[in-house]
Structure formats: structure tokens, C-alpha cells
Structure 1
């Protein structure tokens, strides 16, 4: 049998490596911008076309490269950052693997212009698919200029699975945000299809950089954090609890000026905010950790966002204590304000006791609380004002009589009586259901203000109330989108709000479909929007919360096809607008919800594919009660 194992050609090996290092256009942006930072650049400009599919251009004013270094930079594992294995344990640079440029050149058309500050001329290199097509001396500006064209041109499978331009641009913006926040002193510009997205000045401090990215409205939300210990130095900002959002997006950890993802440390912050946050809300934080490089390991994944800490538990405790201290120091922790309206009023005793009469208590010895006759009683002060006490219609007595007679009556009587017992005085929720479909013969209960329980022939049906309402709203919204023209309920006072760049781009991409759903949203200026109207079905909801929640859902599951995108918009709006867990419903509303759920084409599952209901068979109860 002949030998079958052989070395792969360099071009194939580079494509395999590129699959791990370069996953999408944002990966190219990250690698090239980090190289510019390592080169000492103080100003970096990114020019993007078609979300990076057509062009990614990164230019900087860094140290530049010599002719030899420029050519060597495209070789695998060629780097200026480390010389030995020991250097891996004291890394301060952004890159060190020497894989990025080789991986990019393997799957794209790459042009490089670079010049050292002391050199008279620079060098130009043109590579396509790891092959050098041209190398020559050239006149160019100091620093380095990369042009990456036709990304994944020779890997059609990878290019095919790229998301919509809005999604890929969002990933690019996210990478730029992380790099800009990690290096606030560096000027950074981002241009997409000739439209400027970011213009960040050189020499910003952390607070200015946060405001330049997320808007002026976040400035009043920031609470400074500053802690120094022998293990770690922590600085940065956290958000006030009252400004916490219902979605993620403004949570950033940096260690030694490198962005990292660390769920364990995130839990430390969430515990520090415990009991002062609204349910299902997330605070902003921008925390910078300075740790001895020998105490961390960043050589875990090519993206270098997963980092191991030698003293992880101790740092967790320090982070939690630092956040709590900052919240307490700046009076963010909840406190009792005795000066606010609505505080307890304590009457002041008059200086003179003259004219004060002892209260008179009048007792009616003939009063019977079970007597249904209407009686009038004088006020305690003996004046002419009086109030009435009535037990008309025998309601209370009859309800209790019915309750005890349930044990001997039929199932039909049980359903009617249970309905009476479940009546509540609460205001009905806006479910947008047809009240003509209310079935007075059905028994249903609300359990924990989350589940609806109703008996069926085979047992007990359990319905998730929020998911059921999501399914109902989803099918209503899809019908609205099909009609393309839904009346909008105009707001008396329009709502103005500001979004960060990636969310703004995403909202622009769905404005047409939102209009079909009845939303009247317009862009007033860059990243500033105005809501003039909303669908009538959502008149009791906050339009800003709905849009914010919808954008978060769209970011997590963006699609390319228009019809699929509309389904996603309808699903996101349904999830944002559905009645929340913990909301008390009247029996009529429970019945209406059930009726509309089973009028849906797919009542068993929510728009996101989660199960809406289940049936517990009678046999299961009998087995449990043996």
C-alpha cells in the first residue's frame, strides 16, 4: 500500500489557518487596526465598502516597514512582537502570533503601501491568494496603508455564509468600538460607503471616548470607579441603576488595554447591582483592569478575547467590592428621601389644648354583619356626614355557600364558581383580543402570574402566557406586513432618542417594514431618531422600549432574505410587545388569550420556536397521588 500522508501546500495551509483567524470582514478590521496600534500610530482611518465585502482600507501614521519587513510580514508565524516562548508570559502588544497578514493574503486581494519616517521612498506589494504579483519602490505617506479587496474570493463557501451587509457592518462597528475604547488616546475614523460613522479625536480620555461612541445622553449616567490593589488596578465607569437597559450592548471589560469577554467577572458586577436594578435589565460598565502580564494567559484563542487569570477569584471579589463602593460613594444606592412628595405627614399638635374634645365612639348593639339590609352610620366625629355599608345581592354569603357546595355539584357548576372566585379588581391588560370570543363555560387559572392552567378532556393544559401572546401578536403583525398599509396612532408628544452607530444602521435598514407595521419613525440627524406614531395595538406600550428590544432581537438573529427579515421584525416586535411575566390578568382576559391562541395557525410554538403549551394527562396526577 503506498504512503498517503503528505504535507499540504502553503496556499492550502494558509486558507485553513485563515478559516480560524479571519471569520468575517470584522476580523480583518480587528487584525489590521491592532497592527497599526502596535506600530505606534496616533491616527487610524478605516474606509469600508459594502460592509467589507468589496473593500477594507486601513491607513495609519505608525512607524511603517522596510522593504524586507514588508515582504516578510506576509509569511506565516513571522512577527516582530516576540522572540522566545518566555515572551508569551509578558505580552503587552495586541498581536504576537504572526498569522493575521498571511491569513488575509490567502483569501483576498491585498495591496500594501508602507514607508518608514526616515526613509526616502516606501514599498508597494500586491498579493492575491498568497501569491506576490508585484513588489516595487513607491512614493507614499509615512506609515502603512492596507487595501483588502474581494474578501473570500477563493473560498466561496465562506463568502456564501456571510450575513446581510447591515449585520456585517454591525460586527465591524463593534470591533471598532472595542479598539477605540481600549485606546482612547488614539484618533480613529470609520467611513462606510463614503458616509462617516465615527470621527474620534486624538488624545481623548476614557469619558470623552465613551460619550463620542454612545452619545451625550450617557454622560450623566456614568459613575467613576477607581481601585488599586497589589493584584489589580481597576479604573473606568459604571452606569447608574436607573439608566440600566433591557438589553446588552454597553458592557466592556479591558485588561492591559485589550478587550476581553469574561462571563465570570460579569456576574460579579451583576451581584454588586443586586436588588437595585429593575427586573431583566443590565447596567452599563466600562472597566479597565491593569494586571501583571505574567499573571494572565491570552494565548488561548486566535481572537485573543478569552483570557485566563491566575488569581481569578480574588479579582472577582475586588471587582464586586469596587462597583459597590462606587455606587455607595456617589449616592446611587437606594435611600429613603423624607423630602419627597408622598412622604408620611405627621400632624403638629397645637400649642393650646383648649377646644379639643375627646372622641366619641358610637356602638350599634343591633348591628349584624351578615344582615343584608343597608344601614347608615354616623361619622366618628358626630357630624352630619355619613357613609354607607352595603352587602347587597347576597354576593359574599352566596359565594361562600357555592364554594362549600362544590364538593357535591357537577363539573359544570365548578367551572362557573371558580370563575367568580378568580375575578380581580385590576385594570385589564391590552391584549387586543376579540371579546366576543369569551367563553363563560371555561375554567382557567393564572399561576404565579406566568402560566395559565385550564382543564381539558385528557388532563390539565399549562400555557405560557407571554409566549402565547407573542404567537398571537406575531401572526397579527405578519398580516399587517402583508397588507403593507397599517394606520399609525400619532403621538401627542413625539419621542426623540439617540442610538449608537451600529443600532442606528440596523434601524435604518428596517424603517420601511416598521412603517408597514404602523410605526412613524424618522431620522432627525445622525444617530438621532424621532417616533411620531406607533401602531394602535401598542398604544399602552413605551415606543422606545419596544424599538430597543426589537433591535436587540434583530442583532442576535439577522437574516438576508427580505421575507425572512420581515418575519424576524414581526417576531422581535411580538416579543417586545407581549404581556410580561408577573402581569395579573382577569379571567375574561385569560379566556380571550386562549381563544386567540387556538385561532393561530401554529399555536404550539412561539415565534422563536419555544413551546407555548403542554398537557399533563390525568394518569400523571393519579400516579402522583397513589
Structure 2
């Protein structure tokens, strides 16, 4: 039997290596921009066509390369960043493996133009699938310009798995943010199909954040600054009231390198303990400066996973730094026990806010077995004093009561909860509790309904009916609204624009990440379409569904959540009755579109058992 193990050709080996480093166009942008940063560039321009599938061009004004270096740059494991193994633990550059250009060249058509400041002419190299087609002197600007065309042209299986242009562009924008944020002293320009998405001049850290995420985020940020012998931490965190339900504005950097670290992420979240609304996540932009010898970057091909020598100590420092910053800016309530003056405690409430002390009148002649005692004469009407006293007690304890007399004990078959009610819940006793739940008696006990989830289910099924029937009823706005989004949200909205059109929205792109809302679905009852769109995008980003066949269902579910009533909204009995009737007209009334329970039954047996103890 002959030998069967053999060395792979370089072209095949490069394609395998490319599969680890280059997963999508965004990976190419990341690797090439990091090379531009390492070249000492102060200005980097990125031109994208068709979300990087057709063209990715990165131009910089860095140091450039000699003809020999330009050719060597495309060889595997050829790098100027390190020379021995010890250098791996003293890395300050973004790249160091020498794999990026070789990996990109293996799966694309590349044209390189580069020139050093001291050279009279530059160098042009054309590579197609790892094969050098041309290398010759050429006139070009100082620095380096790389054009990557027809990505994955020789790996059709990989190209087939690329997502839509909007999705791939979104990933490019994410990578752009991760390299632009920690380098505010460098100018960045990003263009897609000749349209400017970002034009960021060199500035300071806060201006760079505002340039990437919009001016509105500025009012929510609190500075963080902490210096220790182990690590220096700087940056900003968002105030708790501006926390959102989706990830997207949470960034950690170490020595200007973006990384993911669930352990440190939890440290930041615990700093906001008891300050956040349920299921919300604060924004944060934290920059670590640490001795390179105390971290290991060479863990993952994408270099986004980093090991720290003393992660427990850093966890404590991060937690304390964020907590201290929130306290300094009055986000965390504090009492200064070292202040010279006494703490001022008001001895009386403000005028007009006093709660009268309830009066207790005792009638010594009262006989409970005599109806005519104390002049009551059989009447149970409350005197004015008694009514006032009752109001005072209720105001003092802020306690609400409801009549349980209508709760009846019948069969506990859950299928019969709504059967036999000819007029729905209109004749039932219904009450709202805590601005969140609707309580109503049913045959088996007491039904508790989550009002927001109930309306989510109702709206979701209505939207799905619209999509199935193709009968779009759009309500035109008397005064069209404009909405300006950041580039990431603008790309996301453009991706689902056709699906929103099918639901009854009339939204047009206006350029510059601005959209005009001309019409909304007729079944949507919201005075602010712009706020609905913003909530929709937030919900949509948080949804795990990505299959093309499920996109419309995903959009409908996200829109239902965005358009439903908020917790704390007071409903009158008629509105509550109407909501319950519509809920039980749904095919799946028990669960919201994302699978959370809408209602719960407190059985009469359990209620009675609680009083037997």
C-alpha cells in the first residue's frame, strides 16, 4: 500500500487559513484597516461596493512599503511586527501574525499600490487567487492603497453563504466602529456605493463617540477615569435611564484593541445593580491601558478573545471605577457622612401636600344590636366625616382594594374559561393592578393578564393576517415625519423596508441616513410613528431569527412589541374588556409572539388553601 499523507499546495493551504481569518467582507475591512493603523496613518479611507462583495478599497497615508516588502507582505507568516516568540507578549501593534494579506489574496483579486515618502515611484502588484499576475513600478501617492475585488470568487460555497447586502454592510459598520472608536486622533472616512456613511475628522474621544452614534447619546454619558498600578481605565458609561433592551453600544478595548469578555461585561452590569429597569443593558465605552506582558492576544484567529494575567483584580477595579463614576455624577444616591454641616431633614411637608391624620370618634352609647343607636336609624350611608377619614386612611397607606365577591367556584376546566360568555367580559368585574395586569374572575378562579403581552399577541396576529391576505390598509400622515438614524440602524431599516411596506408603512429613503414616514398601518394606533420605528429596530436587533423565510414574521413580532401599550398605561373598564375580548379571539392567546406567557390562572382551590393555614 502506497503512502497517503501528502503536503497540501500553498494555494489550498492559504484557502484553509483564509477560512479562519476571513469569514465575510467585514473581516477583510478589519484586517486591512488594522494594517493601515500599524503603518502610522493619520487618515484612512474605506470605499465599499455591494457590501464588500464587489469591491473593498482601503487607502491610507502611512509609511508605505518598498518593492521587496510589498511582495513579501503576501507571503504566509511574513510580518514586520515580531521577530521571535518573546515578542508575542509585548505586542502594541494591531497585527502580528502575517496572515491577513495572504488569506485575502487566496480568495480574491487584489491590486496593491504603495509608496514610501523617500521613494520617487511606488509599486503596483496584481494578485489573483494567491498567484502574482503583475509587479511593476507605478506612480502613486504616499502610503498604501489596496483594492479587494470579487471576494470568494474561487470559493463558491463560502460566497453562497454570504447574507444580504444590508446584513453584510451592517457587519462592516460594526467592525468600522471597533477600529474608529479607540483611535480618535485618526481621521476615518467610510463610503458605500459612493455614498458617505461616516466622515470622521481627527478629534477627541467624546467627539468620536458622538460622530459614530449620533449627538443624542452625548446627554446620556458619564465619564469614567481610574488609574491603578495594574491598569488604567478611561471612557464613558451611559446613565441607567437611557439603558436599552438590546446590545450594540457596549465596547471594551485593551491597548486600543476591541475585545469581548463576558466576565468584565458582568462587572459593568453589577455596577448598575438596582439602577436599571428589568432586562435593560447600559451603554459603555471603556478603554483599558495595561502592560502588554500581562495579556495574551494570541488566543483566537479574530483576536477578539484576550486572556488577562490577573482578571479578578481587573474585575474589581472595573466594578469600582464604574460605580464611583456613577456616584460622582449623582446617578447613585449617596450620603456624605464627612460633610461639615448637618443633614437637613424637613420637619414638615410642603404646604398643600399634608395628609390629615385620620380621626377616630368613639360613641360610648353605641349598641351594635340596636339599629337606631347613635342616630343611624337603619341607614348605612357614611357621614362626611367618615368619608373623609376613609380617604385619609387610603391616602396614608396608598392601598387599593377590590371586591372579590364576584369570584365564583365552578368547574376548573381551562378550556371552558371563556365558553358560555355571550357578551365576553363586558359584564364581568374587571380591574387593573399596578398599571401592568388586568384581573378578572373566571369559572376556575381569578385570571391575571399581562396587558402589554396581550396587545403584542393581538397586534402580531393582525399583522400576520395582513401579510397573508396582501390587503394593506395604509393611513397617510397629514404631516410626514422624518427620522434620522445612525448608519447601522439606517442599514437595518433599509433591509426590512419592503417587509414594512407589506405591513402598511410608507417609508422612503431621503439620503444621509434620513427617512421620511408618509404612512403607517391602519391598525396601528400610535401618534408617533418615528418612535415606533426606533422601538421596532431595537426589538428587531434583539431577535435571534435570521432565516429569510422567517424575516416577515420576525418584523411583525418586533413591530407588535414596539407598538403595544407600555406598562403603567391606565385603562378604563371598557378598554380592558375590549382587550380581553380581542385576546381570546386570537389563535394563540396564551403566549406572546416571543413565547412568553400572557395570562395566568389563580385557581379558587389555591386561594382557599391560602386561608386555611
Please, what TM-score do these two structures have when normalized by structure 2? 0.79
Cα distance 1:368–1:74, how it changes in 2: closer, same or farther (>3 A)? farther
Contact residue 428 and residue 589 of structure 1 kept, 8 A: no
| 1:459 aligned residue | none
1:82 shift after superposition: 0.4
**CA deviation profile, 1:12-45 (whole Å, cap 9, x unmatched):** 1111110110000000000000000000000000
Contact residue 109 and residue 148 of structure 1 kept, 8 A: yes
Structure 2 residue 250 is the aligned partner of structure 1 residue 244:
no
1:607 shift after superposition: 5.1
Contact residue 164 and residue 558 of structure 1 kept, 8 A: no
1:573 shift after superposition: 1.4
| 1:80 aligned residue | 80
| 1:105 aligned residue | 105
**CA deviation profile, 1:33-74 (whole Å, cap 9, x unmatched):** 000000000000000000000000001000011111111111
Output aligned runs, 1:356-375, within 5 Å: 363=363, 365=366, 366=371, 373-375=379-381
Contact residue 436 and residue 452 of structure 2 kept, 8 A: no
| 2:259 aligned residue | 260
Give the Cα–Cα distance (whole angstroms) in 2 for the partners of residues 470 and 26 of structure 1: 35
Contact residue 108 and residue 150 of structure 2 kept, 8 A: yes
Q: Report the 3-state secondary structure (helix = DSSP H, G, I; strand = E; otherwise coil) of the residue aligned with 1:171.
A: helix
Give the Cα–Cα distance (whole angstroms) in 2 for the partners of residues 17 and 368 of structure 1: 98
1:588 shift after superposition: 4.8
Structure 2 residue 471 is the aligned partner of structure 1 residue 511:
no
Contact residue 272 and residue 323 of structure 1 kept, 8 A: yes
1:592 shift after superposition: 3.2
1:181 shift after superposition: 0.3
1:549 shift after superposition: 3.9
Structure 2 residue 288 is the aligned partner of structure 1 residue 299:
no
| 2:217 aligned residue | 218
Contact residue 591 and residue 597 of structure 2 kept, 8 A: yes
Q: Report the 3-state secondary structure (helix = DSSP H, G, I; strand = E; otherwise coil) of the residue aligned with 2:431.
A: coil
RMSD in angstroms over aligned alpha carbons?
A: 4.3
Cα distance 1:123–1:397, how it changes in 2: closer, same or farther (>3 A)? closer
Which stretches in structure 2 are left out of the alignment for 5+ residues?
336-342, 393-400, 419-424, 607-613
Cα distance 1:105–1:397, how it changes in 2: closer, same or farther (>3 A)? closer
Cα distance 1:444–1:511, how it changes in 2: closer, same or farther (>3 A)? farther
- Which moved further from structure 2: 531-540 or 366-375? 366-375
Contact residue 251 and residue 285 of structure 1 kept, 8 A: yes
Contact residue 31 and residue 100 of structure 2 kept, 8 A: yes
Cα distance 1:499–1:399, how it changes in 2: closer, same or farther (>3 A)? closer
Contact residue 473 and residue 522 of structure 2 kept, 8 A: no
| 1:9 aligned residue | 9
Cα distance 1:124–1:347, how it changes in 2: closer, same or farther (>3 A)? closer
Give the Cα–Cα distance (whole angstroms) in 2 for the partners of residues 444 and 24 of structure 1: 56
| 1:331 aligned residue | 330
Cα distance 1:65–1:476, how it changes in 2: closer, same or farther (>3 A)? same
Give the Cα–Cα distance (whole angstroms) in 1 for the partners of residues 516 and 383 of structure 2: 57
1:424 shift after superposition: 1.7
1:248 shift after superposition: 1.7
Cα distance 1:65–1:378, how it changes in 2: closer, same or farther (>3 A)? closer
Structure 2 residue 140 is the aligned partner of structure 1 residue 153:
no
Contact residue 472 and residue 521 of structure 2 kept, 8 A: no
Output aligned runs, 1:503-582, within 5 Å: 503-519=489-505, 521=507, 526-529=512-515, 534-535=520-521, 537-539=523-525, 543=529, 546-555=532-541, 564-577=550-563
Cα distance 1:542–1:320, how it changes in 2: closer, same or farther (>3 A)? farther
1:267 shift after superposition: 1.0
1:220 shift after superposition: 1.8
Cα distance 1:615–1:504, how it changes in 2: closer, same or farther (>3 A)? closer
1:430 shift after superposition: 12
Give the Cα–Cα distance (whole angstroms) in 2 for the partners of residues 540 and 428 of structure 1: 19
**CA deviation profile, 1:62-101 (whole Å, cap 9, x unmatched):** 0011111111111111111000000000100000111110
Q: Report the 3-state secondary structure (helix = DSSP H, G, I; strand = E; otherwise coil) of the residue aligned with 1:182.
A: coil
